[in-house]
Amino acid sequence: MLNIKMLKPYYVKEDKRFIRVVLAYQYFSLFIDQELYQFVPMESREIIIDRSRKRVHNVFDIFVFQRGKKMVYVSVADLLALPEFIKQLGSIVSPYYDDDEQLEGQESMEEVNEIIVELERENLRRLIDRAIDEEDRERFQILTDLWNNQNNEKPSHS
């Protein structure tokens, strides 16, 4: 079983297409079956992230980890299966994304929130209609009070 002990970049290099997280001794270590292994830059020594797709580009690369004389070979794909690896890698590369790339994500979250609010309003309308159909005055009163409170809280755009 793999667990990340430490993942720190030796340095981060960037160009228009890629963000490269360069690794070195003592900056990357794993627990493999509860034993600590240190990264050794024998094969691959960097994680390459495609800026436009926001995905790891070199998933088939192999990293070597050593404990004493024992060597273990771990693919980038295997590391990407670990949520902690993805989380730490994300925190390393996030400052290198352009501001407008991050804003796109914020704008889409605002759109999602607006859609959720509208769906909740439509659901409330249906519940009010059902209360009318079932002649349930108590539920109708509760739901219409809720409807009126929601509409009074919302700033008007007219």
User: The pTM is what?
Assistant: 0.59
Q: What is the pLDDT of residues 17-74, one digit of tens each?
A: 899 999 988 889 999 888 999 999 888 899 999 888 888 889 889 999 999 999 999 9
Q: How many domains does the chain have?
A: 2
Tokens 């409807």 correspond to: 147
Axis-axis angle for helices 137-153, 99-133 (nearest 10): 150
Residue 2 structure tokens: 């793999």
Residue 18 sits in the same domain as residue 90:
yes
Residue 60 sits in the same domain as residue 132:
no
Q: What is the pLDDT of residues 60-74, one digit of tens each?
A: 899 999 999 999 999
Q: Which range marks the domain in which residue 78 is found?
A: 2-97
Residue 157 burial (10 A CB sphere; 0-12, 13-18, 19+): exposed
